[in-house]
Structures are given as structure tokens and as C-alpha cells.
Amino acid sequence: MQKSFRYYDLILGAFVAVLLCSNLIGPAKVVQVNFPFLGPTDFGAGNIFFPLSYLFGDILTEVYGYAMARRVIWAGFGAMIFATMMTWVVLAMPASPNEPFSAQLQPALVTCFGGGWRIAIGSIIAFFVGDFLNSYVLAKLKVRTQGRHLWLRFISSTFIGQGVDSLIFYPLAFLGIWSPQTLLAVMLANWMFKVLVEVLMTPFTYWACAKLKKAEGVDTFDTDTNFTPFSLKR
């Protein structure tokens, strides 16, 4: 009989909520931040919150193991595909002439949610590869370090996972639209920002993992795990 967990479903829901909001609401606004060494840098506002999905992924893998985190990643992947398809269908449907603000509403919705097929596909592929890589590296490092150096495992897995995420997303979404210099600058700035969020949130992840391990009575080591991403087995 498989063990049931009290908080796993809540973390799954939080993970999917952050993921969807970051990809649907965040890209609608481009912000500019003056980073040290990089200067003024433009990026989608969703990048401020997207790293939280990696924090949830880290906590899931650390406490429940790769196989349980894999189910959450698939849930997020399915939610992103559904949200993308729903967005395209809703935007393509004709607005009712009886709606008093239809002339203003449709262009506004297209501006906010019609990011284009390249951005949508880039987001989905980058998330899928980056999150699985993050979880895989974290699980492997936990076994290799025998559960020690939690901070190093979190930061290392995020550094690799977020790096691959950025390396996939930005060329797929903006290559040929932005200049190579702009593409590289934005990609590096977003990557470093996401890793910085992981570093700053490390005390929280320490606390959350300790609390969850005690509450759930589990601390999973993936010594015999099948690391294929194409499975939903626990």
C-alpha cells in the first residue's frame, strides 16, 4: 500500500498556480531593472515569480523524491498546454456585438494574452526540460552527498535547470526578432536573477523541507529510482 501525504497535493496546486500565472499574466508586462554590471535590462514581469516554481520543485524532490516530483511536473506541463490552447481558442472567437466594450476589449486581450506561438511553445518546452533537469540533478546530488550540503544541492540544481530553461526559451521565442546581443544579455540577466532568487530563498527552503520531512515522516533518497521523465509511477 502506497503512503498518502498530507501536504503533497497542496504543494502541487501551488506549483501549478505559480507556473500558470507566471506564463499567462507575467509576460503581458515588460519591466526594466538596473542590474549591477549589466545596466538597465528589460524582461517579462513573470520572471519575478517564475523562480518560485523551482523552489516548489526543489522542495518536492528533496522531501518526496524524484518520482513524486515527476508527477507534479507532468501536471504543470498539462496545465500549460491546456491554458495555451484555451487562450488561442478564446482569442480567436468573435466578440459579441452586444458587448458595449468589445471594440476595446478584444485588442486588450490580444495584447495581454496573445503572446504568439513561438513564446507559447518556447515556454512549454523550456519548462519541461528545465524542471526535469532540475529535479534529476537535485535527486542525484542528494544521493551523492548522502543528504548533506542542502544549500549546494538547491543552488546547483537551479543553476543548471534555470540555465537550460533560459537557453531553450529565449532563442525559441525571440531569435530573429531580437539582436543576438540583446538576446544574450536578456538570457544571462534572467538566468542570474532566477539563481539569485534561489540563493535568497535558501533559508526558507531549509525551513520548509525540515517541517515537511517531520510532518510527513519521509525523507526520500532516490537510490533505485527510474529517472525516465516519461512515467507517472510513484
The pLDDT assigned to 38 comes to: 66
Give the model confidence (pLDDT) of 174-229 as tens digits.
889 888 988 888 788 888 888 989 999 999 999 999 999 999 999 999 999 999 99
- What is the chain's alpha carbon radius of gyration, rounded to the nearest angstrom? 19
222 in any annotated domain: no
**Domain, as residue range, for 169:** 8-94+104-216
CB 227 within 8 A of CB 66: yes
The pLDDT assigned to 28 comes to: 65
CB 60 within 8 A of CB 68: yes
229 in any annotated domain: no
The pLDDT assigned to 221 comes to: 97
pLDDT band for position 27 (cuts 50, 70, 90): low
185 in any annotated domain: yes
Alpha carbons 25 and 205: distance in angstroms, whole number: 25
99 in any annotated domain: no
The pLDDT assigned to 224 comes to: 94
The pLDDT assigned to 160 comes to: 96
231 in any annotated domain: no
The pLDDT assigned to 178 comes to: 82
226 in any annotated domain: no
The pLDDT assigned to 232 comes to: 92
Evaluate if residue 149 carries a pLDDT over 90.
yes
pLDDT band for position 110 (cuts 50, 70, 90): confident
Q: CA quadruple 205, 16, 155, 178: dihedral positive or negative?
A: negative
114 in any annotated domain: yes
**Number of domains the chain contains:** 1
pLDDT band for position 2 (cuts 50, 70, 90): low
Query: Taking residues 63-92, what's their average pLDDT?
Result: 94
Per the prediction, the chain carries an average pLDDT of 89
Query: Taking residues 56-62, what's their average pLDDT?
Result: 95
Q: Which residue has the cell 540577466?
A: 189
The pLDDT assigned to 183 comes to: 85
Q: Which residues pair with 32 in a beta bridge?
A: 42
Q: Identify the CATH number of the domain in which residue 188 sits.
A: 1.10.1760
Query: Which among 67, 56, 58 is positioned nearest to 227, based on CA atoms?
Result: 67
Alpha carbons 196 and 51: distance in angstroms, whole number: 9
153 in any annotated domain: yes
Give the model confidence (pLDDT) of 164-173 as tens digits.
999 999 899 8
Predicted structure pTM score:
0.91
